[in-house]
């Protein structure tokens, strides 16, 4: 952290504008020392009803809401996510579908389980869960794939989370490390302007919102002391005017550790009057967590695919579908044998009574 503070001071020394190389170095230094992030949050997506009152209450999410508990190691991307959500079920047998799902992974194994229930009532602990174990990145479940590819964007990793920036291209809309994005901007000569504003760094860079077009830009306010994006605007330039497409707004608070953390993070899309709002109930920095913190424990009775071997269930009481199917088959065989015995005895009795 000392090196980072020295670099911050050097950025603001003198009258000349800060060097992008110095800013990249600051972010890289933060990245090397990044602590594990733990947050609890709620997320709502939908149309906003009043441009002047963008609150959770003013957002028409049509009954959809997501609550999340997330543990994320920014360096190794080890993760553990517990998500409880209710959302519209398009094309389903009910208007809504509720899920209780957990997914996580360490250096060797990724696990996930899910409980589902039609309607808006959250599945109870008695609802049978379906699970999946993956020992390599090519065989991840849907939730794990999405989390790793978007760096947790749908799980609350939003603008304002230290070390991350919302990246925009025609093929990608998710989170990336700030130092990686700044370095790419510098290498590809995308930076349009760079200056100091109220003690923070304002950077404007060209982004590929539309493939082959150079008319789209992302302007961010970067705090080099905390490696945080405090505000962002995506806009296009046409006939000398800026036309806003996305606005990234963040509010901050001081947590119980005495550190500045995000309190709310909003992505506002004025053109189609949509928004994403994440409210953080808690946000902490963790150190020296054991690897087991990122491992998912299956609820008792979880049913998994046949591809999983019994030896994989060392920290959960899951059963495979083949085991489940064998159990049912055995019950049916025993029941059938019982019926056969009863019929045999019945026939013997009938035959004896029919003898003269």
Q: ∠ CA 113-262-243 to the nearest 5 degrees?
A: 100
Q: ∠ CA 11-14-17 to the nearest 5 degrees?
A: 60
The model's pLDDT over 15-44, given as tens digits with 9 standing for 90+, comes to 466 899 999 999 999 999 999 999 999 998
Burial of 328 (0-12, 13-18, 19+ CB in 10 A): exposed
The model's pLDDT over 195-232, given as tens digits with 9 standing for 90+, comes to 999 889 999 999 988 776 778 999 999 999 999 999 99
* Per-residue pLDDT, 24: 96
The fraction of the chain above a pLDDT of 70, given in percent, is 76
Q: pLDDT grade, residue 315 (50/70/90)? A: very low
Q: Which of 172-186, 267-281, 310-324, 328-342 has the lowest mean pLDDT?
A: 310-324
- Cα 269 to chain center, whole Å? 20
Mean pLDDT, range 89-109, rounded to an integer = 86
Q: How far apart are CA 335 and CA 248, in angstroms?
A: 63
* Per-residue pLDDT, 348: 56
Q: Which of 67-76, 88-97, 112-121, 329-338 has the lowest mean pLDDT?
A: 329-338
Q: CA separation (Å) from 288 to 170, 261, 304, 311?
A: 38, 20, 32, 28
Helix 178-187, helix 20-32: angle, nearest 10: 150
* Per-residue pLDDT, 330: 46
* Per-residue pLDDT, 44: 85
Residue 347: other Cβ atoms inside 10 A: 10
Among 307, 256, 306, smallest CA distance to 281 is for 256
* Per-residue pLDDT, 22: 95
Q: How far apart are CA 355 and CA 351, in angstroms?
A: 7
Mean of per-residue pLDDT scores for the chain: 81
Q: Is the pLDDT of residue 98 over 60?
A: yes
Residue bearing the bigger pLDDT, 355 or 179: 179
Residue 238: other Cβ atoms inside 10 A: 9
**Identity of the highest mean pLDDT range in 9-13, 123-127, 217-221:** 217-221
Whether the Cβ atoms of residue 22 and residue 9 lie closer than 8 Å to each other: no
Q: Is the pLDDT of residue 61 over 70?
A: no
* Per-residue pLDDT, 87: 81
Q: Is the pLDDT of residue 11 over 70?
A: no
Q: Report CA dihedral (336, 339, 344, 346) to the nearest 10 degrees.
A: -170
* Per-residue pLDDT, 65: 77
* Per-residue pLDDT, 322: 37
Mean pLDDT, range 87-106, rounded to an integer = 86
* Per-residue pLDDT, 138: 75
Q: Which of 65-69, 111-115, 137-141, 182-186 has the lowest mean pLDDT?
A: 137-141
Q: Is the pLDDT of residue 327 over 80?
A: no
Q: pLDDT grade, residue 262 (50/70/90)? A: very high
The model's pLDDT over 333-354, given as tens digits with 9 standing for 90+, comes to 445 555 665 665 555 555 555 5
Q: pTM for the full model?
A: 0.78
Among 74, 304, 96, 80, smallest CA distance to 179 is for 74
Q: Which two tokens mark 262?
A: 């995000």
Q: Is the pLDDT of residue 52 over 70?
A: no
């Amino acid at each position: 952290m000392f090196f980072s503070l020295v670099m911050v001071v050097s950025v603001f020394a003198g009258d000349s504008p800060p060097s992008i190389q110095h800013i990249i170095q600051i972010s890289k230094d933060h990245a090397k020392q990044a602590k594990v992030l733990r947050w609890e949050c709620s997320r709502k997506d939908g149309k906003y009803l009043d441009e002047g009152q963008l609150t959770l209450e003013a957002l028409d999410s049509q009954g959809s809401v997501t609550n999340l508990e997330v543990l994320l190691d920014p360096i190794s991307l080890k993760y553990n996510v517990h998500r409880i959500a209710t959302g519209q079920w398009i094309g389903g047998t009910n208007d809504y579908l509720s899920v209780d799902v957990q997914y996580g992974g360490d250096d060797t194994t990724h696990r996930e389980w899910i409980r589902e229930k039609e309607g808006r009532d959250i599945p109870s602990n008695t609802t049978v869960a379906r699970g999946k174990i993956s020992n390599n990145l090519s065989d991840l479940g849907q939730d794990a794939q999405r989390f790793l590819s978007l760096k947790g964007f749908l799980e609350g990793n939003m603008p304002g989370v230290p070390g991350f920036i919302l990246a925009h291209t025609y093929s990608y809309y998710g989170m990336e490390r700030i130092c990686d994005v700044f370095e790419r901007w510098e290498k590809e000569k995308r930076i349009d302007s760079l200056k100091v504003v109220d003690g923070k760094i304002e950077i404007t860079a060209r982004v590929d919102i539309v493939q082959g077009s150079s008319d789209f830009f992302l302007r961010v306010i970067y705090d080099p002391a905390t490696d945080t994006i405090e505000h962002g605007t995506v806009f296009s330039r046409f006939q000398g005017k800026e036309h806003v497409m996305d606005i990234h707004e963040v509010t901050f608070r001081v947590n119980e550790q005495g550190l500045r953390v995000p309190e709310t993070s909003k992505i506002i899309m004025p053109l189609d009057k949509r928004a994403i709002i994440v409210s953080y109930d808690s946000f902490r920095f963790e150190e020296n967590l054991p690897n087991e913190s990122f491992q998912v424990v299956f609820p008792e009775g979880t049913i998994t695919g046949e591809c999983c071997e019994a030896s994989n269930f060392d920290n959960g009481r899951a059963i495979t579908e083949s085991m489940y199917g064998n159990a049912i088959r055995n019950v049916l065989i025993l029941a059938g044998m019982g019926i056969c015995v009863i019929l045999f005895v019945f026939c013997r009795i009938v035959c004896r009574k029919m003898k003269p």
